[in-house]
Amino acid sequence: MTPRLSVVVPFYNVGEYIGACLDSIARQTWADFEAILVDDGSPDDSAVIAKEFCSRDRRFRLVQQDNAGPGPARDTGIDLASGEYLAFVDGDDLVSRHGFEALIRTLDRTGSDLAGGNARRFNNSFGIRPSWLHRQPYARARNATHVSEVPDLVLDRMLWNKVYRRSFWTENGYRFPPIRYEDYPVALKAHLDAVTVDTITAPVYYWRERESGESITQQKFQLGNIRDRVFSAGLVMDLVEDGLPVIRRRVHAHLAQIDLLTLMSAFGTVPADEEQHLVELSRELLDRLDDEVLATTHRYDRIQHAALRSGDVELLRRLALFRNDGGLRGGARTVPRPRQPWQLDYKYPGLREAVVPQELYWVSDSDLTLATSVREVAWVAGKLSVKGTAEIRHLETTPSSSLQISLVIDDVPHRLEVRRHDALDLHGDTTRVGFEVLLDRELLAACTGGPAHFDVRMKSGRRVWRDVLRGQGPGSPGWPPGAWIDETSWIQPGPGRNGCFSVRRLTDPCRLTSVEREPGALVLRGRSSFDEPSLFVTRPVVGGEEEISLEVDGRDFTARLAIGDILAQANPDDPFGQRTTRVLRLRGPEREQRVLLWTAGESAVSYAEDGRVVTLTRSTGGYVNLHESPIRTVATTAVAVGNMLVVRGSDGGDVGFSWRRYLADSDDHLDVACRRTLSEHGWEAEADVDALIPAVAVKVSVDPLASLADWILFATKPDGSTHAVQCEPFLCSRLPLTISRGAHALAVRPHAGTLHVEVR
């Protein structure tokens, strides 16, 4: 019988990853597929692994050819495909368990030509995080739309997060150019040719980001790679040249933001004998981009454009090195002060007139904007403490400047006492940009269910700047702890609208009050905010729900979660972490529904069985999450004891610990071993703080905020395999932990679920 879906998997030299890739395809809830594996002349054991997989699963078949590149390899697979639908997967990536089914179901309903979904980036060091390239196009679910209605779809330059109707593909005769970046011209043309397309918000694809930088998209500064990038960009611009102005402009803006910027950055790494080739390639792209689009780019971009047009390679190199080292942060260059030159011409007499337009050398009023951050959130003596920074970009924060912060509740500002202190500013200087505000119970009690935000006003000289408090950092700002302020009022800080930091008061919320382990089950106790509650467990990624029986005493309830029932359903939604997340909801007799707030203490509760673990914990917003996953090594505490950094946790098996730092663009790494001790409470990993400070403590970067080192805590099993230690949500809510050591500061903080130490 002909399968409905054909999945084409081109691969080359991915022996370390292809087994996991094929396994993620095999585990799909959509089982009616064929997978055509195209070995593009791999020199490693990729084909051996693929062949063995095909022998176990008849839905998979292997085709081998001489190396021709990913585009021709895809064409080979397409020619052999027989399905009604067509999908693509790269051999080092993963697909989510429900991805193909979700995309095919929407195509069956709407009759659209293609459907796409969201993507995630992942690796072992930094865990899983959203792909910013896909965040905008797939921010909303849309049926039967088109790129002319949603111009952000021009950002959707990949093939692998979609399912195409095969008749649509064949009718338009798509073929791939034999280059890298071969997918963007085809993906965009499909969007333009389609009658309608569908978008879904759920992540359907997991895009691997290697520590080594070996993948095509991470080898972006190699000259051959750059040549293909420019050729691909030319094909893309040809497609929109006579199209709708809004689409043409969006494509040109995207190429200027991504592709041209990559070429400008390449001047910081390209060998001297390739510099002129790079100039020619960069000019080829620059000359084709719309002048009106280029005029709207960042001032620093335009300085680089001017240097490129003049052919000043030395200046291009210096500009690229500054940018690559992080000298641009948050869209603004951090070093210059107002009415001062951009400090590029001190080695270049007459540079301003000869190369760069004079108006680009000065900081304008539009560059002077208020920048805020949230660094730490905690409860101190019953008050909510919020620490952060506030400063004007490019202006030095002087003692005479004033800072006013108000909590705005229902459009009414309540002015707060602001305690200012020294902190690291955007220029890398220690100045009076830090602040702390304390919110007492009386003020917090005035909050409502709607989010209250912080209004920030800063005055320097005669000028006043104003904005909302935003810029939550990792740790407690991302996982802010909530607390009771009276018997019925819970305060939950956290992200609000448009990225601002907010505070909400929850009155008599549905809540979990305790969790206990008993043989084969977790016993939950809590309180509902309405009578006759029913408890449901839902899977947000795929939908669906299961009712859990309750014992009810008024509004108090007790529920028993059978571990065996949860493990019997194990087929993870997350193909990388092998984890499934469920949410607990209470429903009342009038169909009112509430998610369950976590008020059950300051640590997660887990139950391990048969190599997997069921964990009840909190979400970033403070609600109850139920995770089912393999047993992981999880850190629950991090403290500084004398000269030692001590991390503690439970479970994880027989492992050793080390802090690992990857070298730039390499799989090579440095390890600082930890002294491990075990007790009835779990494990403890202890490291000397001085060992985490690089021996040559001289900043080679011109970015004063750049880290000297970024260490990740790794666990090593007896067989030598390693994995990054996970950071428990309750530990996240207590971080960052800052340790001062001489001239250096170490910050222990979470990143995408893993535990890091940044050294400055």
Question: What pLDDT, in 10s, does the model give residues 223-239?
Answer: 888 999 999 999 999 99
Residue 561 β-bridge partners: 522
pLDDT recorded at residue 341: 37
Domain 370-507: which topology?
Immunoglobulin-like (2.60.40)
What span, in angstroms and rounded, lies between the C-alpha atoms of 677 and 662? 26
- Residue 698's pLDDT band, with cuts at 50, 70 and 90, is very low
Tell which CATH architecture fits domain 634-759.
Sandwich (2.60)
Residue 549 β-bridge partners: none
291: left (phi over 0), alpha (psi -120 to 50) or beta: alpha
Nearest to 709 by CA among 695, 724, 727, 723: 695
Task: List the beta strands (DSSP E) in 176-260.
Answer: 197-208
pLDDT recorded at residue 342: 40
What's the pLDDT tens digit per position in 446-468?
A: 998 889 999 999 998 889 999 99
- Residue 1's pLDDT band, with cuts at 50, 70 and 90, is confident
Task: Please answer whether residues 265 and 301 qualify as being in contact, where contact means their C-beta atoms are separated by less than 8 angstroms.
Answer: no
DSSP category for residue 381: T
What are the start and end residues of each CATH 3.90.550.10 domain in the chain?
A: 5-208
- Residue 328's pLDDT band, with cuts at 50, 70 and 90, is very low
What span, in angstroms and rounded, lies between the C-alpha atoms of 443 and 196? 51
- Residue 215's pLDDT band, with cuts at 50, 70 and 90, is very low
296: left (phi over 0), alpha (psi -120 to 50) or beta: alpha
Nearest to 251 by CA among 261, 262, 240, 259: 240
What's the pLDDT tens digit per position in 700-759?
A: 444 445 567 889 999 999 998 888 999 999 999 999 999 998 888 899 999 988 999 999
- CA angle 238/244/249 to nearest 5° reads 70
Q: Which has the minimum average pLDDT: 328-342, 390-404, 704-718? A: 328-342
pLDDT recorded at residue 239: 97
Check pLDDT > 80 for residue 359: no
Check pLDDT > 80 for residue 695: no
- CA angle 474/477/480 to nearest 5° reads 125
What span, in angstroms and rounded, lies between the C-alpha atoms of 364 and 66? 56
pLDDT recorded at residue 709: 84
Check pLDDT > 90 for residue 584: yes
- Residue 209's pLDDT band, with cuts at 50, 70 and 90, is confident
CA within 13 Å, CB half, 506: 23
Mean of all residue pLDDT scores within the chain? 89
Tell me the residue type at 728: E
674: left (phi over 0), alpha (psi -120 to 50) or beta: beta
Looking at 1.25.40, 1.10.760, 2.50.20, 2.60.40, the CATH number of the domain 511-630 comes to 2.60.40
DSSP category for residue 663: P
Check pLDDT > 60 for residue 344: no
pLDDT recorded at residue 699: 41
Q: Which has the minimum average pLDDT: 488-492, 570-574, 634-638? A: 570-574
Burial class (CB in 10 A: 0-12, 13-18, 19+), 590: exposed
What's the pLDDT tens digit per position in 522-547?
A: 999 999 999 999 999 998 877 778 89
Q: Report strand pairing: 624-630 vs 580-587.
A: antiparallel
Residue 759 β-bridge partners: 709, 746
pTM of the full structure = 0.87
Check pLDDT > 90 for residue 568: no
Nearest to 21 by CA among 176, 221, 160, 141: 160
CA distances from residue 731 to 737, 739, 748 in whole angstroms, order as listed: 10, 16, 11
Task: Please answer whether residues 135 and 121 qualify as being in contact, where contact means their C-beta atoms are separated by less than 8 angstroms.
Answer: no
Domain 5-208: which topology?
Spore Coat Polysaccharide Biosynthesis Protein SpsA; Chain A (3.90.550)
Check pLDDT > 90 for residue 222: no
Neighbours of 296 (CB within 10 A): 12
- Residue 125's pLDDT band, with cuts at 50, 70 and 90, is confident
Neighbours of 713 (CB within 10 A): 27
- Residue 169's pLDDT band, with cuts at 50, 70 and 90, is very high
Check pLDDT > 90 for residue 336: no
What span, in angstroms and rounded, lies between the C-alpha atoms of 77 and 12? 14
What are the start and end residues of each CATH 2.60.40 domain in the chain?
A: 370-507, 511-630, 634-759
Neighbours of 302 (CB within 10 A): 17
